[in-house]
Structure 1
Amino acid sequence: MSFESLGLAPVLLQALAAQGHTQPTPVQAAAMGPMLQGRDLLVQARTGSGKTLAYALPLLQRWLAGKPRAPRPVEGLVLVPTRELALQVGQTLRDLAHELPGLAKIAVVFGGVSINPQMMALRGGADVVVATPGRLLDLVRHNALQLGQVRTLVLDEADRLLALGFADELAEVRALLPAPRQTVLVSATLPAPVRTLADGWLVDPVDAKVATAALARADIRQRAIAVDEDRRTELLKHLLKAAGDDRALVFVATQYATEHVADKLTRGGFPAVPFHGDMSQGARVAALDDFKAGRVRVLVATDMAARGLHIDALPLVVNYDLPRSTDDYTHRIGRTGRAGGQGDAISFVTATNEAHFRLIEKRQAQRLVRETVAGFEPAQSPPERDRGAGTGLDPNGGVKGHRKSKKDKLREAAAAAATETTPEPAAKAARPSPARSSPESPAPESGPASRRSGPPTRRAR
């Protein structure tokens, strides 16, 4: 299949050719046709598969088909969970629009920075807005933009956006949008509870699903190295030395760990920078720029970096700490092996997290051989109760089965609430009050719009 056969305008075909795009990826071939027809879509495909381009091209084609108006009404709206993804999506749209006749105005807005420059940029309107939910609502309240003429809504990283941390903001945004409209949900992973919530956003949608299992990716070599917990940093240095000048993205569990590990690596001769949600926007941009430009070799990050970051030719991802969920594992390793490149994804498996890694393997329908590195052979063994985890001997996998997490309870409660059609009896109406998300999860963007009555929501990242 070619881009021509998808029904794109000639000027968009020229823009694609100028950027070196010759053939659509599977997700682009599956999604672009129905989106150009105005259908609602549920797009699910692995990281690095070209999902952004799959919706960016139809958005610009719709702009080409319209007539210039002043002020410009917002006709395309893309909601994303993080600042970094907002910048990336905005850049993709601007690069394409640069090749088009006329001047499509693409506005990118997010929290964590002053709102005044964004309000100034929105004077005269915008054709397409890429936004995080909290800042979008702030701008609406300041009368900087209106959403009553939005024709296409895209929720990128929809699984994160539809999670409980964004529920209030999304409900407010939805109330401001016109009906009917086209809605497109895009994600690499879509757990069942979130998929239930997604059904409330879509009308007769096309299910554009492309194989998402990480194990199906021949371009990522997954490895599991057994090591004692207190020797992980030394093992990481050993692997970085063996990798020569290759850059590495290292995932850890906490913000403190990003600073701690980055400092140890830098003092060990491997220039590294931390990356986490409590850093200022300027510091985050500087860290990414230094890493992409090769001025530092290692980016030590929380799961904030697991979604939405595109780093060309990144050869190595290391799970210094394992992710809490299987979905986060998929997103983490998807930072390498992108755009036809090859990459390694290495997980450090210790005696204490062996059971958790087996659960990840079970959910991924795979089993990795535990490697050892000479000089770093583990001296510790998993506890007896965890040795059968993930093998079928322990149906709970050793983790998360003994007791549901707060996040899982919140998601299940949201899914149940979304499917209720009649009031429950008073005896069943009581539900546990929502709790805050895990501090290790990528934090949502928000702003003053999120301060209202009801359960507290997480602050912006």
Structure 2
Amino acid sequence: MSDFKMLGLSERLVTRLTENGITDPTPIQNRAIPVALEGRDLMGLAQTGTGKTAAFGLPLAQIMLTEQVKPGPRGVRGLVLAPTRELANQIFENLLMYLGKSHLRLNIVVGGKSIGAQIKRLERGTDILVATPGRLIDLMERRALDLGNTRFLVLDEADQMLDLGFIHALRKIAAVLPAERQTMLFSATMPKQMNEIAQTYLTSPVRVQVSPPGKAADKITQSVHFIAQSEKSGLLKELLGEHREELALVFSRTKHGAEKLKRNLESAGFAAESIHGNKSQGQRDRALKAFKEREARVLVATDVAARGIDIPDVRHVYNFDLPNVPDSYVHRIGRTARAGAEGRAVAFCSPDEAGLLKDIQKILKMDVPVASGRPWEGVQPSANKGKPANSPGKGRRRRPARGRGHERKAG
């Protein structure tokens, strides 16, 4: 199957996609869309940046447009759950793009926005509702919506919902949904707990997997610098200075560290923004807007806040701090090389992070090529060294000072 029409999508949707420059389905879309259009439950596994939103959004839009059904007062026909506000907003924007001007009513409910205004918008009923679990529970408790006739459920980034502790909220939501429904679950990784979600939500699902869990995008050039924590900031500025006109996403492990690093970069003359849990929704929206419109070329983020960032122009991802959860590394670097583009992922590894890098390399099933420094104790390259690193340091090799093994906060 070479285009969206052959997958079974309507002329209307295909036209909308073409108008927006989307003509070729990705592998996950090729395999998931026909299954979804058949009404089957679906478990889709694909790495970040492979087009999972369209894999469920397009068939959901087509089914909704075809059915001659209207939602009742406060009713919801289709529910899409996402773990973060940013991802929910991204899904909502994509659905609006797919549907264009149609009779369908779309709504989004997330934390950080006026719950009173959301309650009012839900009164007339909703065809497709995009929601974060926490805010949805709040609205359920206020009897602001009715999920008793919801026939379609999508769980996007289900692995991240587990990481954020939403399993209890999901159980509460499942209890009020009708048993007869179509459910689609999408995830970048498949942790062991995912089986519990699958058994709770899905009935005889078709499993679609287009890349092994943990595999990074093929077009991402990865490298690691072994460096003392105190020297990370200086190295980051040096590397960012080599591509000032290109967009770069920098990951910090903590909210405090992200804000401190952003201020540090600003003082060095970089146009930088930050998104993390201590920011209001309005501040996060403004930061993302500035980054998308290239008013800021550097965005410093924490893992949770970065879910839902879908900006094709991000060329560089820096792991200023390595993540505590190895799978998060895959999510992070998946923010670059979107939609088939090329990207670069650079990791900084301090002495205290040696074990974290070892865990990351284990799920990648490869050694991250070394750009500078020597591996700390606990990270020894194996026979599988992969391709030589395209070092962003223009071929220079640094020997970082070995710290005392005490990791300081990011920035």
Normalised by the length of structure 2, the TM-score is 0.88
Which residue of 1 is the match for residue 87 of structure 2? 85
Match of 2:347 in 1: 347
Partners of 1:163 and 1:225 lie apart in 2 by 27
Relative distance call for 1:59 and 1:133 in structure 2 (3 A) is: same
Q: How does 1:268-417 map to 2 (within 5 A)?
A: 268-372=268-372, 382-383=376-377, 386=378
Q: CA deviation at 1:307?
A: 2.2
Q: In the alignment, what sits opposite 1:419? A: none
CA contact (8 A) 1:188 1:212 kept: no
Matched to 1:347, the amino acid is A
**Cα distance 1:60–1:288, how it changes in 2: closer, same or farther (>3 A)?**
same
Once the two structures are superposed, residues 415-459 of structure 1 have per-residue CA deviations (whole angstroms, 9 ceiling, x without a partner) of xxxxxxxxxxxxxxxxxxxxxxxxx9xxxxxxxxxxxxxxxxxxx
Q: 1:163 to 1:281 in 2, by over 3 A?
A: same
Which position in structure 1 is the counterpart of 2:130? 130
Asked whether the 8 Å contact 1:113–1:281 carries over to 2, the reply is yes
- Tell me the alpha carbon deviations over residues 24-60 of structure 1, each in whole angstroms, 9 at most, x when there is no partner: 1110111111111111111000111110001111111
Q: Counterparts in 2 of 1:189-338, with a 5 A limit? A: 189-212=189-212, 215=215, 217-338=217-338
What code does the residue aligned with 1:139 have?
Answer: L
Could you list the per-position Cα deviations for residues 385-420 of structure 1 after superposition, in whole angstroms to 9, with x for gaps in the alignment?
A: x355x859xxxxxxxxxxxxxxxxxxxxxxxxxxxx
What SS is found at the alignment partner of 1:371?
strand
Contact 1:215-1:366 at 8 Å conserved across structures: no
SS in 1 for 2:183: strand
Name the residue aligned to 1:174. 174
CA distance 1:70–1:235, change in 2 (3 Å): closer
For the residue of structure 2 that corresponds to 1:323, the secondary structure is coil
Q: Is the 8 A contact 2:248 2:316 kept in 1?
A: yes
**Paired residue for 1:146?**
146
- Relative to structure 1, the CA distance from residue 363 to residue 70 in structure 2 (aligned partners, 3 Å threshold; closer, same or farther) is closer
CA distance in 1: counterparts of 2:382 and 2:281, whole angstroms: 43
In 2, the alpha carbon distance for the partners of 1:357 and 1:54 equals 32
1:171-203: CA deviations, max 9, x gaps? 111111011111111011121232344223211
Shift of 1:132: 0.8
Displacement of 1:368: 2.2
**Residue type of the alignment partner of 2:376:** P
Task: Give the partner amino acid of 1:78.
Answer: V
Distance 2:163 2:328 in 1: 14
Across the aligned residues of Structure 1 and Structure 2, the Cα RMSD in angstroms comes to: 2.0
Q: List gaps (5 residues or longer) in structure 2.
A: 384-408
Deviations 1:240-288 (A, max 9, x none): 1111311211001111101111111110111212210121111111111
| TM-superposed deviation, 1:121 | 1.5
Give, in angstroms, the shift of residue 163 of structure 1. 4.8
**Which secondary structure state, in structure 1, belongs to the residue aligned with residue 314 of structure 2?**
coil
Post-superposition shift, 1:312? 2.4
2:401 alignment partner in structure 1: none
CA distance in 1, matches of 2:201, 2:90: 25
CA offset at residue 214 of structure 1? 5.7
Alignment CA distance shift 1:40-1:117 (3 Å): same
Q: State the alpha-carbon separation in 1 of the partners of residues 361 and 350 from structure 2.
A: 15
1:42 corresponding residue in structure 2: 43
2: distance between equivalents of 1:153 and 1:165? 19
Query: Which residue of structure 2 lines up, in the alignment, with residue 94 of structure 1?
Result: 96
How far the C-alpha of 1:234 sits from its partner, in A, is 0.5
> Is 1:66 aligned to residue 67 of structure 2?
yes
For the residue of structure 2 that corresponds to 1:76, the secondary structure is strand
Q: Percent identity among equivalent residues?
A: 41
TM-score, length of structure 1 as denominator length:
0.79
Q: Which residue of 1 aligns with 2:14?
A: 13
For residues 86 and 122 of structure 1, the distance between their equivalents in structure 2, rounded to whole angstroms, comes to 17
Structure 1 residue runs of 5 or longer lacking an equivalent are: 393-439, 441-461
Distance 2:268 2:137 in 1: 45
Give secondary structure in 1 for the equivalent of 2:95: helix
Question: For residues 162 and 320 of structure 1, do their structure 2 counterparts lie closer, same or farther at Cα, with a shift above 3 Å needed?
Answer: closer
Structure 1 counterpart SS, 2:318 = strand
Structure 1 residues 202 and 271: CA distance shift in structure 2, 3 A: same
After the TM superposition, which of the residue ranges 221-230 and 335-344 deviates more from structure 2? 221-230
Counterpart-to-counterpart distance in 1, 2:379 and 2:127 = 56
1:103 deviates by: 1.9
C-alpha separation in 1, matches of 2:313 and 2:187: 22
Amino acid of the structure 1 residue aligned with 2:231: R
Q: 2:193 and 2:214 mapped to 1: Cα distance?
A: 21
Give the length in aligned residue pairs. Answer: 382
**1:70/1:54 CA distance change after superposition, 3 Å:** closer
The whole-number CA distance in structure 2 between the counterparts of 1:46 and 1:215 is 7
CA 1:128/1:278 → structure 2, altered by over 3 Å: closer, same or farther? Answer: same
Task: Determine the C-alpha separation between the residues in 2 that align with 1:166 and 1:17.
Answer: 37
Q: Please state how far the C-alpha of 1:10 moved relative to its aligned partner.
A: 1.9
- What amino acid sits opposite 2:42 in the alignment? L
Distance 1:288 1:155 in 2: 24
